[in-house]
Structure 1
Amino acid sequence: MLQRELIAAVRAAATADAGMDAALMYGSFAKGEGDAHSDVEFWLFLSPDAHARTDPRAWIAALGHPVSYVLRNEFGAHVAFFDALVRGEFHFATTDQYDEVATWPERAAPAEDMIVLDRSGRLATALAALPERMPLPPPGAFVAEYCDPWANWLVLAAHVLRRGELLRALDALGHAQRHLLWIARRAEDATGHWLTPSRAAERELDPRTLAALYAATAPADPVLIAAALRAALAEGRRCWRALAERHPGETPPPPEDLLGALEALLRDTPQAHRGS
């Protein structure tokens, strides 16, 4: 597998680079979940002097595998595209940034599987400070952080759909869907891939839940968007009620007046009845 060859090449290059104090691998291969479609992802910690004289593109090219393109993403990482469109993500950092590692929400993999190189031991210390899994908020705080935004985005999506702004409605629906995935995962106690809730959803969620989540998707068609919003409303309401029943007195129940008004609005959306 090309990804394993790239991991070995990064390990060799990091070890040979005298200016590099540590290298860390994260993502699917660190978790033991990597396959032919997975990225390879690294943080590379160089001394400030070495960082200043390192050309990230040249460092990546020197790994010995053909690269078709390198870009810098919105997080400041260099993303390289290797054969078969295998993605490699490289964060070139300095040794002054170890404190940032300690602020990550979770480690998500055994530290020994993440450490590619650690000359000073500072990387291991930073990783040891992290929880293996991101601690989830208690029931009441969960509603404020995940359920309330779900409702908010659905109401916005319904209004802009009625205005005829299909792309904006889909954008709002996308935000609602992501929060719906978190709500469904919490309702099913399927919280293993929390930071990317769509990851492995087909393996980890109940088929009935998956069918409801699929129904909450749509192309840019007003009838199908309205149907997706109704599906997202029904599934989120079901999951929220289940959480409230599971944690009585801790999880506030869904705001039925609001959700009922939204249900009526979606039922009365002219586009929802086109062709019926």
Structure 2
Amino acid sequence: MLRWRLAMSAVLIPLLAGIFALDHSFGRSAPILLVFGCVLAYRGADELCDLLHTRNFTPHRFTVCALSMLVTSAAWFGRSRIFPIDVPDDGNTLAQVMLAYSLSILIMFFVSAYRYREPGKSMETLGAELMIVSYVGVLLGVCAQLRWVAGAEAGYLVMGSLVIVTKAGDAGAYTLGRLFGRRKLVPLLSPGKTYAGAGGALLGSALGAYLWLTFATPFFNATWQPPEWYWTVLYGVIIGIVGLIGDLCESLIKRDVGKKDSAGLLPGFGGLLDLLDSIIYSAPVAYILWKAIPLATWKIPGA
């Protein structure tokens, strides 16, 4: 299993890096990331539809997939000619993401009213649909904001920091958990997680943040200075904690509906949501940290 996971990682990591590099070459409008984000939104919503299509939950697949893509793509409103909607002066499109989400709520209620036939299912299904669009569409829409939060030139330094830190945390958790894991962290929810693994997640995240932000920052621009080491470690530890919680929260969904993986998309990994759980859950916190602590040592356009 470990060899298979390493082999899959050897394919997925260069593929993701290639998508990021291609999108970076297009500049601020980020059209490749827009397409990639919509694909992720569609697939993530589709997986959640399958997971939640149980008991009294019967989410309408087309509706939630389309609305998840709409909310995710709202991060590009005003940045692309496809979406000629004004963006606030600071370049922040979080307002547009929330507007798209609000419209999605209206549409989901309307569809639920249109589909109503008898008591007993409507509210459960509507709740499941709201959760899907919130979990997939809103979190991916906020994640996309990292492409611009520290300036368009630094977009993939910032997005890379989120991916590197969360996945370094996963690697640290797996390593120390296998070597020293005895005491279970939350045995009813995620039997494989241990206190040693949680410590490894924090160590891995802190180390990943330090290495990435120290050595990758001047690679993106030779005039940029890396942030102070203690800020990078703080960033890594906080994202490591939040990423660990995000992993547990996705486990909550799967355990409650009696599933081991979100899908069988990638052998050894599970579904797309099994790959993205800690990343999208940590994205809002990463956005706050890039605004709140001095990780960007360069002048941000419009700031």
The TM-score with structure 1 as length reference comes to: 0.27
Greater Rg, structure 1 or structure 2? 1
Higher relative contact order (CA 8 A, sep 6+): 2
More helix by share: 2
More strand by share: 1
